[in-house]
Structure 1
Amino acid sequence: MSTATSSRQGGEWLQSWDPENDQTWDKALAWRTLWITTFTLTMCFVAWFLPSAIIPKLNALGYSFSKQELYWMSAMPGLAAGLLRIAWMVLPPIMGTRKMVALTTLLLFFPILGWGVRVQNPSAPYWELMVLAFLAGIGGGAFSGFMPSTSYFFPRRMQGTALGLQAGIGNFGVSLVQLLTPWLIGFSMIGFLGGSQAMKVPGKPSKEVWFQNAAFVWLPLILIGAAWAWTALKSVPVKANVRQQFDIFGNQDTWWMTLIYIMTFGTFSGLSAQFGLLMGNLYGSGNAAIVSGSGAAAKILVPGYAVPDPVSWVFWGPLIGAGARVLFSPLTDRMGGAIWTLVSGLGLIASIVYTIPALTPDTSSAAALQGDFRQFLVGMFLIFLFAGIGNASTFKQMPMIFEKRQAGGVIGWTAAIAAFGPFFFALGIGVMGATLFYWVGVAWAVMCVAITWVRYARKGAPKPG
């Protein structure tokens, strides 16, 4: 994007900023910006996925929501993130990096505070929790502002690594909240902010927990991140009003890359939000019981079957996906993004097909159930791996495919649409059932592999990237 030279002078606004000019590029400033925005983006993902760690336990804390109500509640942060990303994608040129990052981070304080208050007493009405779930989507919406904003600070040759590091480390916020929640709720480290609760799981003794810890522990870090961004960040003056930013929709590659990024980040975010609920619904939530079927599912007792606790497993999937995004980003700078997007699509097809049989557990024996559960875990982890690879490769492709002025807008737009992943996964699994929905995922990945090969990856492709 071209830099503005008129109204934005001095203070936070950089002058004559050109990362492609090695003689004048301030490398230290670029990397400082990356690390600050990465820290705050991690907090954004924590806020976005905090409901996914709390919602599966609401009934155990004393609420009495139906399975469908819980699915819809878990879908709400994804719906909000997709809608809010459309707004956030136009903010970087308008607000600048400093104001946008600092104020967005500060907004996270309110939904996290709300969840910490409402888990302490199971008296909140359903609509209020739905509002809190929607507000958590602010953390997801921020992605479409943070990523294009960071891209202004780096030359094209380094944007695969820079954006991969920011998005990948930011994605670790998903695993962080899912990994730490079971530990944080186990002791009264900040008990003065509220009493304990009795968590009651069928077939197990009641357990004393402090579930507010899972929310309140992040509040100081959010305030620190907002203050750090406000005092240390600078902004690149960019000429791009809202009307100019929306000319990306006249470029066919905007639409092709949107479909592809739905395959990669839509899968990552959707499965991250639904992994725990899906595992619980398929493989049980009692001492020796599993839930099979759909709707008013019946519990089937299987002697000798060790029921898995979803909280022991759900953080691994997002951790694998985020790690792949970080580790493969430098490879995309060296080898190009298109080839790795092709690998991602082919890997997703194979791993989804491998997982599908495990979506209908064999309840004939404990051994059969355990075998299906192992296949389910391996398949899900492979899906996360290949989705993470694709998340890295697509963000290398976009700065290469599009002119500099458009690349930030396309990154924001594709991220906005893919953020609907948690919503569509909840809706698809709830309405279609897991098996049919996974076959839809296979068909989508086949389509994206064809697009990638024809448009970007083959020799002589129109837009190699």
Structure 2
Amino acid sequence: MTPPAPTRRSGRWIERWDPEDEGFWQATGERTARRNLWFSVLSEHIGFSVWTLWSVLVLFMGPEYGLTPADKFLLTSVVTLVGAVARVPYTFAVAVFGGRNWTVVSASLLLIPTVAAFTVMEPGTSYSTFLLVGLLAGIGGGNFASSMTNINAFFPLRKKGWALGLNAGGGNIGVPVIQLIALAVIGAGGGPRVLLGIYIPLIVVAAVMAALFMDNLASVKNDTGAAKDAARDAHTWIMAFLYIGTFGSFIGYSFAFGQVLTNGFGRTPLQAAYLTFIGPLLGSLVRPLGGRLADRYGGARITLWNYVGMAAATAVLIVAGMQKSLALFVSVFVVLFVLSGLGNGSTFKMIPGIFQAKALAKGLEGEAAVAHGRRLSGASMGLIGAVGALGGVGINLAFRQSFLSYGSGTGAFVAFLAYYGVCFAVTWAVYLRRPAGRVTEAATASQEKTQLSYAEV
């Protein structure tokens, strides 16, 4: 017997949603989930583009703007910080307003920083004004948290790695896309207002499409208590620490790469623009692959070895920077972007798996276990995404201090290398290490069962 279609009420609300029911999923669930995924990707994509506007705009800001390299790094740090902080209320917003409703609102809000930047982007504008408008652009970073929380509820556990990776990757790709458009604008002799003028109608399109084609899930609404429960769970903060290393690297390097090339290697803004988009583009495209690999082999295993690769790439970057080898530096930096994208996918796949394992450990079974895991994993994603994005702030501030103190980014890369080493150790110790030491046979069996369940996340 074919399960009935999800019942709806006015305002595009779906009352019944059970993606773990294979019959329901095949009959109606998958089609509805995919439709919401595609339009979520569109809105998140535009959000990422607006959030990272200033990584591109600072390249337009020549000597006539009167800003030092330290001023520009501070400006991009402020934008990144606001984007990170905005992710917390954006996570709550899905439960308060509904996923579709909040996507319409959050997409529409992107008009504020884009129009504001269009208004002030000219020589003679005060630095404090640029900082204020940069603060506004930070709201684009919040779209990720609400989008991931919403899409997490639409897909069954076996599909979450792919779905979340695709949703996040489609959003992340907003970073290289705006860099490519900026490259075309600079190459054609256009100014920053041309770039901003392109995005204003795109924001309107994203908001209208969300209103027309997305849905709200009644099961997600009014569950703001889930975020409090997630905040009390130690695994939320452990995963946030690991996500700093992956997504924090991706967004931090996306903001800083062009400035590192101009300040450390003497590239012109146009020359830097020809190179900066490659890393974020590949890092975004590979994120769904990270989720897919995690679905197959376990997110913890992929994350562990990914940190080995990130540490190795960072060590090579230190050598390349000291030798002033631009070709080696750019090529390895691109590899680091790719690894950060893979790690983004694998770490986010771990989150629903961890909370599902905890639900089973509590003795929950069947739909009760699935509902418990989905509730906490969706809420934790916003918190984890917010803390992870703070890594981008740290990267920009580290580069700022490194250039002020040493005249290069080498000092910052040494700090990043140490952090990746700690992330490797934490991943192994918490999610992959087998129990050891003198414990009873029963205790060993119990610990192994829990540890093995985490190893599969």
Question: Are the equivalent residues in 1 in contact too, given 2:14–2:215 (CA < 8 A)?
Answer: yes
Instruction: Normalising by structure 1, report the TM-score.
Output: 0.84
Would you say 1:262 and 2:244 are equivalent positions? yes
Letter in 2 for 1:13: W
Cα deviation for residue 56 of structure 1 reads 2.5
Aligned mate of 2:103, from 101, 104, 111: 101
2:4 corresponds in structure 1 to: none
Structure 2 unaligned blocks of 5 or more: 1-7, 356-372, 404-408, 435-447
Which of 417, 425, 429 is matched with 1:442 structurally?
A: 417
Q: Give the structure 2 partner of residue 427 of structure 1.
A: 397
After the TM superposition, which residues 285-304 of structure 1 pair with which residues of structure 2 at under 5 Å, given as runs? 285=267
1:334 is aligned to 2:334: no
- 1:237-386 matches, cutoff 5 A: 237=218, 238=220, 241-285=223-267, 309-360=271-322, 362=323, 369=324, 372-386=325-339
Percent identical? 30
Alpha-carbon distance in 2 for matches of 1:15, 1:342: 39
2:193 aligns to what? 212
Per-residue Cα deviation, 1:298-322 (whole angstroms, up to 9, x for no partner): xxxxxxxxx9811110001101211
Letter in 1 for 2:233: N
SS for the counterpart of 1:420 is helix
CA distance in structure 1 between the aligned counterparts of 2:133 and 2:140, rounded to whole angstroms: 12
User: Corresponding residue for 2:438?
Assistant: none
Q: Shift in Å at residue 155 of structure 1?
A: 0.4
AA aligned to 1:92 is V
| Aligned Cα root-mean-square deviation (Å) | 1.9
Moved more, 390-399 or 379-388: 379-388
Per-residue deviation at 1:9? 5.0
Cα contact 1:274–1:422 (8 A) shared by 2: no
Cα deviation, residue 182, structure 1: 1.8
Q: In structure 2, what is the Cα distance between the partners aligned to 1:332 and 1:422?
A: 24
* C-alpha distance in 2 between matches for 1:244 and 1:319: 34
The SS at the match of 2:23 is: coil
Displacement of 1:122 after TM fit?
A: 1.3
Matches within 5 A, 1:162-241: 162-187=163-188, 208-237=189-218, 238=220, 241=223
**Cα deviation, residue 22, structure 1:** 2.0
| CA distance in structure 1 between the partners assigned to 2:341 and 2:202 by the alignment | 26
1: CA distance, partners of 2:162 / 2:223: 28
Partner of 2:140: 139
SS of residue paired to 2:286: helix
Q: Find out whether 1:392 has 2:395 as its counterpart.
A: no
Q: 2:5 — aligned with what? A: none
Task: Give the structure with the larger helix fraction.
Answer: 2
Once residues 377 and 323 of structure 1 are traced to their aligned partners in structure 2, the CA distance between those partners, rounded to angstroms, is: 18
The C-alpha deviation readout for 1:50-79, integer Å capped at 9, x for no partner, is 11101122125x311122211111112101
Q: In the alignment, is the contact (CA less than 8 A) between 2:113 and 2:137 conserved in 1?
A: yes
Following the alignment from structure 2 to structure 1, what is the Cα–Cα distance between the partners of residues 400 and 186?
29
Paired with 1:319 and 1:285, the residues of 2 have a C-alpha distance of 20
SS for the counterpart of 1:284 is: coil
Aligned equivalents of 2:342, 2:187: Cα separation in 1: 35
- Per the alignment, in what secondary structure is the counterpart of residue 280 of structure 2? helix
